[in-house]
Chain A
Amino acid sequence: MPHTSEVMLHVNGTPHRLTLDNRTTVLDALREHLRLTGPKKGCDHGQCGACTVLLDGRRANSCLSLAVAHSGARITTVEGLPRGTDGLHPLQQAFLDRDGFQCGYCTPGQICSALGVIAEAAGGHPSHVTAADGPPPGEPVPLTADEIRERMSGNICRCAAYPHIVEAIEDVAGAAVTS
């Protein structure tokens, strides 16, 4: 059997057929083969979150995902977020407005993770800090600051823009709730 495989990745809406080493992760496929530099390599072991992308609609560490095992997957990176007329997704704009980053290296992962957080909370997924007497199973979980902090904890920011990232996500999650 071969040590390489034909892999089909649907990245930001565009299908890419690649012949990849079976060892190639989704992260390296994106960065080194498709030259998408949004997903970052921070730790290469799922311990920092800089590589976070949406994999079939859910946030995942692309560094621990083998491309061959995700052939056929739909992948959304920070480059592929739907953008408004000003050229930015509301979360990207909120990160700018709130100064939710400094060096910027963790930022694409933070933004993709935040998208996942908003969807997960809306889908009724609880977190470690969701109160037992909170919304019943299946009901949306309001994204309080504590909820955001806990749910975003898989995304390390060494510059520690954390308070501003929380504010940025609150801006967007709050707008999503009121709209």
Chain B
Amino acid sequence: MRSFTYERATDPAQAVALLGHHPSARFLGGGTNLVDLMKLGVETPGHLVDIARLPLDRVEESADGGLLIGATVRNSDLAADPAVRTRFPVLSQALLAGASGQLRNSATTGGNLLQRTRCPYFQDITKPCNKRRPGSGCPAREGAHRDLAVLGHSESCVATHPSDMAVALAALGADVLLLGPDGERTVPLTGFHRLPGDAPEKDTVLLPGELVTGVRLPASAAGLPSAYRKARDRASYAFALASAAVVLDVRDGVVRDVRLAFGGLAHKPWRATTAEAALRGGPATAAAFGHAVETELAAARPLRDNGFKVPMARNLAVRLLTELADPDASALDHTDPRRGDR
């Protein structure tokens, strides 16, 4: 790990200012990903601005019924928050499907959004990687890519974004609140993470020096049936092979509103806008769900070893949509104690 200097910030504006003083500075939140990557030599900051104690650790209801989540709220606290659990259950479920109890106690909302890919070539500095060293190449295409992208990847990068939380936020239509040297701005979560294109070194649209200060959940999704489900290599403590987050509003058998996002498939949480458009106003039937999701996934371009993700994602989404549309239909599905498996 490269040596670095360290200071603690006490308020967001100061944090942004401190970061600007150092050309190779990084914000340190819970450290669960940054320290990990510093040990690997993937991140080599010369200075850390510790933002873990910024007064951004609250979850507050906004006047319109939405929710404002501070950037330093810990994942475990966010998952346990009563308002999140009752009105945005998909977010609580997604958080609890990720990492471990220990990691969730340390990891922050902002840090979770800014997690870097788990692609083994990105994490190994002795190998080429366009995301780490632009222009060096992407060995994953020919190498180990079972866990990597099937949607939206490019010649230069097939990485996936590892967050579960961000998938739920994408489905909920959240906004990311940013503070930079030039002031505040808001970016929709679905536009916060990028597709790799020919600049895979950029995970997000975050500008140099910008700080994530929070996430805003819109009132429009509050209280609607929602759920998250994830498939993985073991029963817990594993990244998603594929996951789906669904928010669904059905009345009288008709889809009034639907938001669907996939995890584990792309360089960003994949909001399934094509499927949503196909479903809105139409019948809430398994056949319609299947057709819409397949239309969305028709864009998939699997690599040699990850084609399984397409049917996996399809099945996850169709099952969740079907269950949310008709909760009684899944009443028999209780062989597994897991709530997510109901």
In the complex, is A directly touching B at CB under 8 Å? yes
The 0/1 profile, CB within 8 Å of A marked 1, for residues 24-52 of chain B is 00001001100110110000000110101
* Minimal Cβ-Cβ distance residue in A for B327: A132
**Nearest-Cβ distance from residue A30 to partner chain B, whole angstroms:** 15
Measured between alpha carbons, how far is A116 from B101 in the docked complex, in Å?
9
Chain A contacts with B in 1-23, Cβ cutoff 8 A = 1-3, 5, 21-23
Residues A23 and B3 in contact, CB atoms below 8 Å apart: yes
Find chain A residues with CB under 8 A from B23 CB: none
Residues B31 and A64 in contact, CB atoms below 8 Å apart: yes
- Checking A126, A128, A129, A154 against B103 with a beta-carbon cut-off of 8 angstroms, the contacting residue is A154
**Nearest-Cβ distance from residue B154 to partner chain A, whole angstroms:** 28
* Minimal Cβ-Cβ distance residue in B for A133: B339
Find chain A residues with CB under 8 A from B35 CB: 25, 64-66
Measured between alpha carbons, how far is A153 from B342 in the docked complex, in Å?
20
**Nearest-Cβ distance from residue B8 to partner chain A, whole angstroms:** 8
Residues B4 and A22 in contact, CB atoms below 8 Å apart: yes
Task: Tell me if B307 counts as interface (CB < 8 A to partner A).
Answer: no
Find chain B residues with CB under 8 A from A76 CB: none
Residues B236 and A44 in contact, CB atoms below 8 Å apart: no
Indicate whether A129 sits within 8 Å of B52 (C-beta atoms), given known contacts A66-B35, A117-B101, A154-B99: no
Q: How many A-B residue pairs have CB under 8 A?
A: 131
* Minimal Cβ-Cβ distance residue in B for A24: B1
* Minimal Cβ-Cβ distance residue in A for B99: A154
Measured between alpha carbons, how far is A179 from B101 in the docked complex, in Å?
26
Task: Tell me if A89 counts as interface (CB < 8 A to partner B).
Answer: no
Residues B85 and A137 in contact, CB atoms below 8 Å apart: yes
Residues A153 and B92 in contact, CB atoms below 8 Å apart: no
Find chain B residues with CB under 8 A from A21 CB: 3
Measured between alpha carbons, how far is A113 from B101 in the docked complex, in Å?
8
Q: Give the total of B residues in contact with A, Cβ under 8 Å.
A: 45
Measured between alpha carbons, how far is A137 from B86 in the docked complex, in Å?
8
Measured between alpha carbons, how far is A116 from B103 in the docked complex, in Å?
12
Find chain A residues with CB under 8 A from B82 CB: 137-138
Q: Give the total of A residues in contact with B, Cβ under 8 Å.
A: 48
* Minimal Cβ-Cβ distance residue in A for B3: A3
- Checking A1, A3, A60, A125 against B102 with a beta-carbon cut-off of 8 angstroms, the contacting residue is A60
Task: Tell me if A32 counts as interface (CB < 8 A to partner B).
Answer: no
Task: Tell me if B76 counts as interface (CB < 8 A to partner A).
Answer: yes
Find chain B residues with CB under 8 A from A58 CB: 76, 105
Residues A66 and B338 in contact, CB atoms below 8 Å apart: no
Measured between alpha carbons, how far is A44 from B40 in the docked complex, in Å?
10
Residues A60 and B106 in contact, CB atoms below 8 Å apart: yes
Residues B4 and A61 in contact, CB atoms below 8 Å apart: no
* Minimal Cβ-Cβ distance residue in B for A56: B105
Can you spell out 10 A-B residue pairs with CB atoms less than 8 angstroms apart? A3-B4, A46-B102, A49-B102, A66-B28, A69-B8, A69-B31, A127-B101, A128-B93, A129-B339, A154-B101
- Known pairs A61-B32, A128-B97. 16 more at Cβ < 8 A? A5-B6, A21-B3, A25-B35, A52-B102, A60-B102, A61-B102, A69-B6, A69-B50, A69-B52, A125-B80, A126-B79, A126-B92, A128-B93, A132-B89, A137-B82, A138-B82
Smallest CB-CB A-B distances: 4 pairs: A154-B100, A153-B236, A137-B82, A1-B5
Binding site for A on B (CB under 8 A): 1, 3-8, 28, 31-32, 35-36, 38-39, 47-48, 50, 52, 76, 79-82, 85-86, 89, 92-93, 96-97, 99-103, 105-106, 235-237, 337-340, 342
